[in-house]
Amino acid sequence: MIARKQKQRNSRNNSRLNIVLAIIFLFGSIIFYRLFALQVSSYDLYTALASDQHQVYNQLIQNRGKIYISDNQDLKENNTLYPAATNKDFALIYAVPRKVVNPEKTAEELYEILNKAEMEKEVDELLANDEFFKEQAENENISQEAMEKNKEFRQIKKELEIKTREEEIIKNYLMKLTKKNDPYEPIRNKVNEEDLEKIINLNNPGLDYIMEKHRYYPEENIGSQTIGFVGYNGEEKIGQYGLEGFFNEELSGQHGSIRAERSAGGELIIVNNREYIKPQDGSDLVLTINRSIQYTACTKLKESAMRHGADGGSIIIMEPKTGAILAMCSWPDYDPNNYSEIENINTYNNPAIFSQFEPGSIFKVITMAAGLDDGKISPNTLYNDEGQVKIEGWAKPIKNSDYDTKGGHGTVDMVTVLEESLNTGAIFVMEKIGAEVFADYVK
């Protein structure tokens, strides 16, 4: 009886032992599997993760080369340079909505600082190009009373336009400032130092900023097609159009890098396996363009094109002795600081060199200069203008522009040829020079 009980007790103990051993074996198998997975199957993954924790890699950004123009008014050789394209630090203003104090007031303050002056300028330009106000301004017969009423009407229209835009901008700011679940809401980029200081002085804990380097064009619209701009190609910034695009490789330079290891305490180990590649800044470009001449040429071109209702225009001013370009600009133009606002990408092209034009009457100056240089004519040389002339190999006679109304001008000198832009006079000079010699001058 006692022996049977002892045997049953031993059997139960063996069963418990087997269960314990089975559990130990199971856990051992799991641990072995995990070790195998960590050390063999996923070795590359965890090695890479460990490397990321202990290795540091930073790309070192180079400075893009600047583009300079001459700032000398007297055109002397001791050149003073002025940057037409440079690099400048701007602020990116962003909001942390849950920290913003009084979103309604903040939205109005942001408008006052970031938008008001700029928007009022835009409205003034809009009204200046309004056909009604342009016609009224050019009407010499308008009475003083009508002129005063037009001014009042213009002011009312300006205030209404400003009010509409103001409400829309403030509404947009308020929408961003009240996104409580959004930890980061960008407000405005490329904010200058003056406006940044005003925002800092608001002392609003929900507004903050980071500094970013941007390409900056101090001359704005002046000569914009010649200079071009820096834009994005994916995530990379590259020069596009104009000199920025043509000389992108020279201006860009090469970025550098630094690779080091981080200790267990988080400190950089700067001796062991450290790699440092110094960034190479881009080369600067120095242009022959003269700032004063460029400004005057571009301003006059725009005024003339708008006054005559032209679709566009271009102007190039050269130094006669060297061929150096002193000014080159086209209209319509654009501000390369805000190139993305342009709807028609053809505006980016430089018509002065991109588009083909028949030289037309401006070539008469070259024809006359060739005749003077070759000694075949003088300002007092006379010829008989019959108003049209037949050229061998050309089906129709070539006429003066006023032939149908005035006929021929009779006996005239070379000065009159230029003053009246007589086609027959230009042909007379070309024939005096001779076709082969004239072709050499053209080349």
Give SS3 for 125. Answer: helix
Q: Enumerate the β-bridge partners of residue 233.
A: 236
- For 266, phi then psi, to 5°, come to 95, 0
Question: Looking at the chain, how many residues does it have?
Answer: 443
Distance between CA atoms of 216 and 374, rounded to whole angstroms? 49
Burial class, 322, CB count within 10 angstroms (exposed 0-12 / middle 13-18 / buried 19+): exposed
Q: Are 367 and 358 in contact (CB under 8 A)?
A: no
- CATH C-level class of 286-349: alpha beta
Distance between CA atoms of 26 and 375, rounded to whole angstroms? 111
CA neighbor of 283 nearest in space, from 44, 68, 107, 51: 68
Q: Percentage of residues in the chain with pLDDT exceeding 90?
A: 40
User: What is the secondary structure of 170-220 as a DSSP string?
Assistant: HHHHHHHHT-TT-S-EEEEEEE-HHHHHHHHTT--TTEEEEEEEEEE-TTT
Structure tokens at 266: 């988080």
pTM: 0.66
User: What pLDDT is attached to residue 45?
Assistant: 45
Distance between CA atoms of 437 and 431, rounded to whole angstroms? 10
Q: Which residues of the chain have pLDDT under 70?
A: 1-18, 20, 25, 32-57, 73-78, 131-143, 146-147, 260-274
**Element of type H or E holding 427:** helix 423-433
Distance between CA atoms of 375 and 229, rounded to whole angstroms? 47
CA neighbor of 104 nearest in space, from 183, 180, 178: 178
CATH, range 360-442: 3.40.710.10
CA neighbor of 126 nearest in space, from 149, 158, 94: 158
Q: Are 253 and 279 in contact (CB under 8 A)?
A: yes
Q: Enumerate the β-bridge partners of residue 56.
A: 260
Distance between CA atoms of 352 and 329, rounded to whole angstroms? 7
Alpha helices in 37-130 (DSSP H): 43-54, 103-114, 116-128
Structure tokens at 50: 């460990």
